[in-house]
Structure 1
Amino acid sequence: MKKLYYIPLIFIIFILGVTLKIYLTFDIEKVEETFESRYSQMVLDEKDKILGVYLNKDEQWHLKSEEKIPEKLKEAVLNFEDRKFYSHSGVDFKAIIRAIRDNIFSRQRTGASTIDMQLVKILQPKKRSYFNKYIEIVQALKLDRYFDKDEILRTYLNNTPYGGNIVGYKTASLLYFQKEPNELTWGEAALLAVLPNSPGLIHVEKNRDRLIKKRNLLLKKLKDRKVISELQYKLSIKEPIPKQRYYFKSVAPHLTRRVINENSDKIIKTTIDRELQSKIEKVVKDYSEYLRSEGIPNIAVMVVNNRNYEVKAYIGSQEFFDEKSNGQVDGVMALKSPGSLLKPFLFALAIDDGLIAPQSKVPDVPLYFSNFNPQNANKKYYGMIEIREALIKSLNIPFVNLLREYGEEKFFYFLKQVLNFKDSDVSRYGLSLILGTKELKLEDIAKLYTGLANYGNFKDLKYIKTQALEEGEQLFSKGSAYLTLDTIKELQRPGLERMYIEKNPISWKTGTSYGRKDGWAAGVTPEWTVVVWTGDFTGKGNINLTGVKTSGKLLFNIFNILLCKEKEFILPEDNMLKIKVDKETGYRLKYDIPFKEICYPSEAKILKTSPYYKKIFVTEDGKEVDSRDSEFVNSREEIVLNYPIEVINYLIKENRDISTLYSNRIKKKTVKFIYPVKNLKIILPKDFDGEKDIIIKIANLKKQNIYWYINGEYIGEGRESERKLNLKAGKYQVTIVSSDGEIEKVDFEIEKIR
């Protein structure tokens, strides 16, 4: 008989061992990790408004909320599920005893699960059994020991099912009532409290009478317990329940997709302004209807707050769900030719390098640069033009010439320093770089212009609110940035908007890529940067596409809805000084000639003197002499204007007045080679006969008879300004002799592609 006493003892030891094993094997550190893995990814705007939500791995809408549980929902849930939640230690033992009694002696089946126990069940779902219930009890005790009550309640509400594929109270509030949880009424809070009790049986779209009855019973309980008043009760039971579930609206879908792919966090807070994003999306969609009639299907836009480099609107296409026109392509990230959008940056850098001031004149005539023969887009040439006017008119020749002087490699690595692209082969682009042959993203353009608007301080753009704002790099002076911004403020606007320049000044630039494949407009104010691209994602060109018309109009439509507190860029007086430049050509004053004062950056290199003035010596009768002339002793100095022969040649051909461009006293060359330039290596594709025509171009100011020689052999004469030569691979010297005895020579080499 004594041995029988060991049986209960062994049983107790067994139970204790099982309990200890359950307790120890319940990995409390993985609780949060497990729940975290189940949440949907959610993208928010800067004010915590939802931009986009993505299904989790179980195809559920399952949002995580880190906000405080609303009091109405909290009271409703505790009174329905676990009134003693804040007083028990994870398990309500009195309720368990009561449930056992009812289940044994009564037909009524009652449960005794606390919120802690239900959370354990959600964490590790198991079949219903007494042993599994015991496991839940043990694990609930451990859960309550390691987490505070508010944390347990929040986690429970974040993970409880609400019917269908809706999980979590925030998800249910948004998809059933289209409102945030803190906006719920007592009737809505009560509905969400009872819904998880039997989500498969009770649903807003079915069994509606049972759902209303259960909600109203809870509301009566809240009234009886003095949680709500009689009036609140009467009003709440009259509230209808939702007839259907709703779906999440997608705002800034291209950006939400991008940040989801780049970030594993469940809640991603962006810098986007949802209200502004929605307004611009509508403007873009409406404008796209007009462009579609012009055969232009696609648009992309970005808006940046210049004060903090935060992206406030991100439109990847005219409409994300426009499948016919590739709407899901992200135009912000697509590589496109920027056309003339880089010219303002070369303008600022060249000022800092002392090569130009805005008032400096530069040649604008057809020129040859090695094998590169650029043209102005409008096919017009101005002879000599101020560089600021060349920027306003977006002339190609002056900026190709300026890039040659500044250095294409220096400019390429400026772009690389700002944009951090992988490409390092500047030789692929050469001087055509300034015309947009290096493809860039709209995001890159926005970064460049945001840096310009911040007076030359360049930083990465911010998309994520928690992203730290870097110090940035001052890559050109504040003074040159201001002079650039002040210049491009004068660009003529499309339509009648010219009259609003003084009221709403915007510094802006357009660009149209070769073949009219890309139309660009980038505009800045002290507060905003807006970049617009229009075109076809397939790369198809369109004769109707231009930066000014197709993109410029939309640019100003967008600026019209942006709030602008500061109108003008402020002259950085501490970074500027007054210098004297010659009145005619706009370079640093060197000689005693008419001058004017201009603003120039104090941090820039000293502005170079004019290359177009020349000191000569003349006799009393005006004859030019040099030190070898017998009359030199009695000569006097004179400063004369001496523009390049190619400029004079072009203006003569165009029948323009050149009387003011140079002094007749100068013994100016009247014949000169324009193409090829000295020591040029010409690489040509090989024809079937192994030969290729080369066109030699010259300037012939006086239209004299010219005698032509190649490698010392006479080949003909004439007054023409170009001659076609059929040459094989090899080295050549072409000599021209004018009828008044001038001689010019040029050496070049021809190579064939094999």
Structure 2
Amino acid sequence: MGSKILNFFKRLSVTQKVILCILAFLVTGYIFCLPRHLFHVPYSTVVTDRNEELLGARIASDGQWRFPPRNTTPEKIKECLITFEDKHFYHHWGVNPFAIGRAFYQNVKNKRIVSGGSTLTMQTIRLARNESRTFREKLIEMIWATRLEFRASKEEILSMYISHAPFGGNVVGLDAAAWRYFGHSADDLSWAKSAMLAVLPNAPAMIHLSKGRKTLLDKRNRLLKQLLEKKTIDSSTYELAISEPLPDEPHALPQIAPYLVSRFYQERNGEYSRSTINKGIQTQVEDLAERWSNEFGRSDIRNLAILVIDIPSNQVVAYCGNVHFDRKQGGNQVDVIQAPRSTGSILKPFLYYAMLQEGSLLPDMLLPDVPVNINGFTPQNFSMQFEGAVPASEALARSLNIPAVTMLQRYGVPKFHSFLQQIGLKTINRSSSHYGLSLILGGAEATLWDVTNAYAMMGRSLLQLPQRSCSLLLPTSRITESTDPFQPGAVWQTFDALKEVNRPEEIDWKSIPSMQTIAWKTGTSYGFRDAWAVGVTPRYAVGVWVGNATGEGKLGLVGAQTAGPVLFDIFNLLPSSSWFTRPAGIFVEAEVCRKSGHLKGRFCDEMDTLLVLPAGLRTEACPYHHLVTLSADESQRIYENCANTEPTLRKSWFTLPPVWEWYYKQHHPEYKPLPPFKAGCGEDTFQPMQFIYPPMNARIKLPKQLDGSKGFLTVELAHNNPNATVFWHLDETYQAQTQDFHKISLQPAAGKHSLTAVDGEGNTISTTFFVE
């Protein structure tokens, strides 16, 4: 074949060869004359809800309201445009010779340009090139128009035109015009509105809403008359259409979910984004946020953020990043959903879950709630009180700080730090040693997005759904599935504790059938800067943050008092659902001590048969029950003389460590301390006293007094015998003796010290501490 072509070319004359080369050049130029992308213009950022209802938009970088190009053209607009601009649109190849000839004749006759003769395809090229109107430019438009007809379908050409046609002012394209002039989508335009928009691009600078209204109305009605004559519309539709008035002024675009729109503006500038937001839920949440913000504003608490996730689909249905978007003050422009904030107690359920799953905790196992000092770290409960010992589930439900710190110390900070990163808390990105034990009390920062997502993951594990990244966009083209960090058994037990958290209504919600069950948790950061509340049902996970985005603390900014009521108001407006079904085939039965929550020990006398995780069978048996031998006449008064040679009663006795006991018995009047032992009774190894402060290896800074002199250190211990006398020694030097309340003040020098206490029975206890 190649040789035949070569021989044919050799037989041609020089003139023929030149003509052939010119033709080849022209054909090649024609083929490649049209750029791959016709339009190089910036577009507005447009965000819709899941049903493609507009939530909001941001103007393009050139100051034009130009929505991203659409793929289809509404039928009414299509009919109006073709009737008004190019009746033979479907019958030419980009250029209409008859229209060009007519325009040429009219322009020569009138000695000025009165008609252009351009087809819609040529107008599309003119919009793309944006050059001055000359005969040379007209010729280029004609060439490009025919070439465009070979590349694109008629529908595609029409879509290009309506997406880039000017509609007056800074409004470009059909979609932007429909929203600016009529306040709704182009798909919902009436015949009158479609006709008005069809005639606008013909002379957008001369006819628009503020001037040339009569000319615009006349043009619209003439077009409607043509549609009637073509029988595109009937007479009744025509009469209704011409009676429809023109809009008075442009409409403002919707401002729904403005913080989400701004987020997409930063991440997807110039794109059309169909979000997962449910517009109905979003508007209700925003109205609720506005009402609560006005309430909080009285206390100078200015900011509020809410996130609602549909758990089965793992899609965000409401995104309220803050309040008062239109106000440029008080941190209102901060999208708090994405802003790292101190976590307060909101991470405690994750630690509770991790220890249950590992098998180092049972739900009602007693945890210490006593004063602690861990290398200078002295956590306090919110109530500033101590209860001695509290069941783990109750400590979680009441958000007690000291049991949580004890749990973290037992579980290990590095391990918990790794787990938090595994469940998606990306802002906890420093080393575990940086956070230390404060990690569980708000020593780290997390975003409302990450925290609410983590709670949603727990809910998904109970629904036995695969874990995947939470979505904000529809359709989700790629779903990233990941390993599930949560197992349903431990999640069930965690939620079982969280649904017992006292609700803001302070009512017995279980007695009201209409009240749905919610597992929820609050958090309050140090200095009252952040208030959190996150709740989960089988349908939704809701996260709420209240505070000041500028970081100012306010007295009363407490999770349970601010974020909590908002959370329950949101759940009240969401569809309710029945509670999670307990996972089957996971739990095993175990005998558990009723008082301590540990596995049944050798001397436990009151037990419950409970369902626990298999890993929980590895936990320690109850260490708090002891077998005590009592004398024969011990019916009224417990223990008097254990030297009886023939004891008649052996009793199981529940005893706590002395410091635990000291606080525990103040809240539990039924608790009976173990009576004193006589030497030789077989319980000489029992330690009757324990230091409350300072704990072993505590590092202490002594405060200065008002006159600048060195302050005092107050040391304290608990003794299980209220009548005991205790003798105190500091570094083997006698200091004092105490009775009833065992507390003294010391002024030790800087350095390492040893503190020893001896009671009247010869029992001794020592601790070491450091003064800095």
TM-score (norm 1): 0.89
Q: Deviations over 1:308-333 (max 9, x none)?
A: 22111111222212334332122212
> Does the aligned pair in 2 maintain the 1:169–1:181 contact within 8 Å?
yes
Q: Do structure 1's residue 333 and structure 2's residue 338 form an aligned pair?
A: yes
State the 1:532 CA deviation.
1.4
The residue that corresponds to 1:423 in the other structure is 429
Measured at CA, do residues 546 and 712 of structure 1 come closer, stay the same or move farther in structure 2, by a change above 3 Å? same
3-state DSSP class of the match of 2:456? Answer: helix
The residue that corresponds to 1:700 in the other structure is 719
State the 1:425 CA deviation.
2.1
Q: Do structure 1's residue 460 and structure 2's residue 465 form an aligned pair?
A: no
The residue that corresponds to 1:61 in the other structure is 65
Structure 1: which 5+ residue stretches go unaligned? 1-8, 625-629
> Does the aligned pair in 1 maintain the 2:42–2:270 contact within 8 Å?
no
Measured at CA, do residues 89 and 272 of structure 1 come closer, stay the same or move farther in structure 2, by a change above 3 Å? same
> Does the aligned pair in 2 maintain the 1:479–1:602 contact within 8 Å?
no
3-state DSSP class of the match of 1:560? Answer: helix
Q: Deviations over 1:618-671 (max 9, x none)?
A: 9999999xxxxx99999999754331111123356x496475354756443223
Q: Deviations over 1:542-598 (max 9, x none)?
A: 22322222222111111111012x221211122222221122212112426332111
The residue that corresponds to 1:725 in the other structure is 746
> Does the aligned pair in 2 maintain the 1:730–1:749 contact within 8 Å?
yes
Measured at CA, do residues 98 and 321 of structure 1 come closer, stay the same or move farther in structure 2, by a change above 3 Å? closer
Hey, what's the Cα distance between the residues in 2 that align with 1:138 and 1:633? Answer: 120
Supply the AA of the counterpart residue of 1:430: G
Which residue of the other structure, out of 617, 639, 648, is the alignment partner of 2:661?
A: 648
Hey, what's the Cα distance between the residues in 2 that align with 1:224 and 1:379? Answer: 85
The residue that corresponds to 2:453 in the other structure is 447
Supply the AA of the counterpart residue of 2:33: F
The residue that corresponds to 2:564 in the other structure is 552
Measured at CA, do residues 458 and 345 of structure 1 come closer, stay the same or move farther in structure 2, by a change above 3 Å? farther
Measured at CA, do residues 554 and 636 of structure 1 come closer, stay the same or move farther in structure 2, by a change above 3 Å? closer
User: Quick check: 437-446 or 374-383, which moved more?
Assistant: 374-383
Q: Do structure 1's residue 145 and structure 2's residue 158 form an aligned pair?
A: no
Structure 2: which 5+ residue stretches go unaligned? 1-15, 678-682
Hey, what's the Cα distance between the residues in 1 that align with 2:20 and 2:480? Answer: 63
> Does the aligned pair in 2 maintain the 1:477–1:604 contact within 8 Å?
no
3-state DSSP class of the match of 1:328? Answer: coil
The residue that corresponds to 1:713 in the other structure is 733
Q: Deviations over 1:464-494 (max 9, x none)?
A: 2244333233323211111121222122222
Supply the AA of the counterpart residue of 1:608: E
Q: How many residues align?
A: 735
Q: Do structure 1's residue 671 and structure 2's residue 682 form an aligned pair?
A: no
3-state DSSP class of the match of 1:332? Answer: helix
The residue that corresponds to 2:290 in the other structure is 285
Percent same amino acid at aligned positions?
Answer: 32
Which residue of the other structure, out of 445, 469, 474, is the alignment partner of 2:484?
A: 474
Hey, what's the Cα distance between the residues in 1 that align with 2:756 and 2:715? Answer: 11
RMSD: 3.4
Supply the AA of the counterpart residue of 1:317: N
Hey, what's the Cα distance between the residues in 1 that align with 2:321 and 2:451? Answer: 14
Supply the AA of the counterpart residue of 1:465: L
Hey, what's the Cα distance between the residues in 2 that align with 1:300 and 1:427? Answer: 31
3-state DSSP class of the match of 1:521? Answer: strand
The residue that corresponds to 2:7 in the other structure is none
Which residue of the other structure, out of 505, 526, 533, is the alignment partner of 2:517?
A: 505
3-state DSSP class of the match of 1:118? Answer: helix
State the 1:203 CA deviation.
0.9
Hey, what's the Cα distance between the residues in 2 that align with 1:19 and 1:38? Answer: 33
Q: Deviations over 1:60-83 (max 9, x none)?
A: 001124352111110110111112
State the 1:681 CA deviation.
4.8
Hey, what's the Cα distance between the residues in 2 that align with 1:508 and 1:171? Answer: 43
3-state DSSP class of the match of 1:549? Answer: coil
User: Quick check: 157-166 or 186-195, which moved more?
Assistant: 186-195
Hey, what's the Cα distance between the residues in 2 that align with 1:621 and 1:725? Answer: 45
Hey, what's the Cα distance between the residues in 1 that align with 2:713 and 2:445? Answer: 31
State the 1:297 CA deviation.
2.0
Measured at CA, do residues 339 and 401 of structure 1 come closer, stay the same or move farther in structure 2, by a change above 3 Å? same
State the 1:717 CA deviation.
3.5
Kindly report which structure 2 residues correspond to 1:110-149, keeping only aligned pairs within 5 A, or say none: 110-149=115-154
Supply the AA of the counterpart residue of 1:464: L
Which residue of the other structure, out of 95, 98, 102, is the alignment partner of 2:99?
A: 95
Q: Do structure 1's residue 23 and structure 2's residue 35 form an aligned pair?
A: no
User: Quick check: 456-465 or 233-242, which moved more?
Assistant: 456-465
> Does the aligned pair in 2 maintain the 1:175–1:247 contact within 8 Å?
yes
State the 1:166 CA deviation.
0.4
3-state DSSP class of the match of 1:42? Answer: strand
The residue that corresponds to 1:627 in the other structure is none
Hey, what's the Cα distance between the residues in 1 that align with 2:482 and 2:537? Answer: 19
3-state DSSP class of the match of 1:591? Answer: coil
> Does the aligned pair in 2 maintain the 1:575–1:603 contact within 8 Å?
no
The residue that corresponds to 1:388 in the other structure is 393
Measured at CA, do residues 595 and 658 of structure 1 come closer, stay the same or move farther in structure 2, by a change above 3 Å? closer
TM-score (norm 2): 0.87
Supply the AA of the counterpart residue of 1:713: T
Which residue of the other structure, out of 567, 574, 581, is the alignment partner of 2:578?
A: 567
Supply the AA of the counterpart residue of 2:591: K
Q: Do structure 1's residue 490 and structure 2's residue 500 form an aligned pair?
A: yes
Hey, what's the Cα distance between the residues in 2 that align with 1:718 and 1:136? Answer: 105
Hey, what's the Cα distance between the residues in 2 that align with 1:182 and 1:536? Answer: 42
3-state DSSP class of the match of 1:570? Answer: coil
User: Quick check: 241-250 or 379-388, which moved more?
Assistant: 379-388
> Does the aligned pair in 2 maintain the 1:492–1:498 contact within 8 Å?
no
> Does the aligned pair in 2 maintain the 1:691–1:728 contact within 8 Å?
no
Supply the AA of the counterpart residue of 2:406: N
3-state DSSP class of the match of 2:37? Answer: helix
The residue that corresponds to 1:584 in the other structure is 595
Measured at CA, do residues 260 and 655 of structure 1 come closer, stay the same or move farther in structure 2, by a change above 3 Å? closer
Which residue of the other structure, out of 160, 163, 177, is the alignment partner of 1:158?
A: 163
Hey, what's the Cα distance between the residues in 1 that align with 2:615 and 2:233? Answer: 71
Measured at CA, do residues 717 and 473 of structure 1 come closer, stay the same or move farther in structure 2, by a change above 3 Å? same
The residue that corresponds to 1:4 in the other structure is none
3-state DSSP class of the match of 1:150? Answer: helix
The residue that corresponds to 1:434 in the other structure is 440
> Does the aligned pair in 2 maintain the 1:22–1:139 contact within 8 Å?
no
User: Quick check: 58-67 or 677-686, which moved more?
Assistant: 677-686
Q: Deviations over 1:368-414 (max 9, x none)?
A: 33422222212343333322222222222222222222222222221
State the 1:153 CA deviation.
0.7
> Does the aligned pair in 1 maintain the 2:596–2:622 contact within 8 Å?
yes
State the 1:605 CA deviation.
6.0
Supply the AA of the counterpart residue of 1:672: Q
Kindly report which structure 2 residues correspond to 1:93-492, keeping only aligned pairs within 5 A, or say none: 93-105=97-109, 109-264=114-269, 266-418=271-423, 419-421=425-427, 423-455=429-461, 459-467=468-476, 468-492=478-502
State the 1:201 CA deviation.
0.7
Hey, what's the Cα distance between the residues in 1 that align with 2:261 and 2:74? Answer: 28
Q: Deviations over 1:273-292 (max 9, x none)?
A: 12211111011101222222
Hey, what's the Cα distance between the residues in 1 that align with 2:698 and 2:536? Answer: 42
> Does the aligned pair in 2 maintain the 1:117–1:140 contact within 8 Å?
yes
Measured at CA, do residues 615 and 559 of structure 1 come closer, stay the same or move farther in structure 2, by a change above 3 Å? same
State the 1:515 CA deviation.
2.4
Hey, what's the Cα distance between the residues in 1 that align with 2:507 and 2:90? Answer: 66
Hey, what's the Cα distance between the residues in 2 that align with 1:655 and 1:193? Answer: 80
State the 1:105 CA deviation.
4.0
Hey, what's the Cα distance between the residues in 1 that align with 2:26 and 2:138? Answer: 12
